[in-house]
Amino acid sequence: MLRALSHQLAGTSGRGLQQQLAAAALGNGGAPVWGSVEAFAPGEFTCWQGRRWATKKQGGSTKNKADSNPKYLGAKMSDGQLAFPGQIIVKQRGLRFKPGEGVGVGVDHTLFAKAVGAIKFSRVTERQPGRPPRLLRLVSVLPLQGDYSPGYADKAAAMVAARNAHRHAMLGLRAKFG
């Protein structure tokens, strides 16, 4: 049928083949087809323009916005402070500070006290054959049991009393500690 229509309309000029086929199929006898240039009056705007709308909201970008949360690493207690079992002494990545007597190491290399005592930070030089000497930072907890020097028992009692006073002031507890 299309072949017959195309042969029939071959003699008409001024229109495209698709417009001629559409006009013949609708039977409107040569009236202008909607959307064609002839459908507009001569004074009307006949140029088709497309509009492209934004599909994404445009936002600015920055290179220094992302930041990680703080890890709060470092020494949590100082030399001479009284430590109780389980208290964290140093949080670190790797073993910058090595554990000494009365100190344990957590899975994330955190050093913690294993006994009640005074914290001692010290530096020790390690010598291995065929290698240069290496300076180690050692953390120890000196236990309160046993008398190492004159007046040590008095110092230990004063440290325990200071800790109890601090806990009493911070927690508002009426119970006795120690």
**CA atoms lying within 13 Å on the CB side of residue 177:** 18
> Residue 131: which CATH number?
2.40.50.100
Global pTM value: 0.51
Please indicate, yes or no, whether residues 33 and 80 belong to a single structural domain of this protein.
no
Structural domain containing residue 99: 74-145
Closest C-alpha among 155, 159, 177, 154 to residue 167 = 177
Distances (CA, A) of 89 to 36, 65, 154: 85, 33, 24
In a domain, 59, yes or no: no
Q: What is the pLDDT along the chain (178 residues), one digit of tens a residue?
A: 556 655 555 555 566 666 766 666 666 555 665 666 565 555 555 566 677 777 776 777 777 778 899 999 999 999 999 888 889 999 999 999 999 999 999 999 999 998 888 999 999 999 999 999 999 999 999 987 665 666 766 776 777 788 778 777 877 765 555 4
How many structural domains is the chain composed of? 2
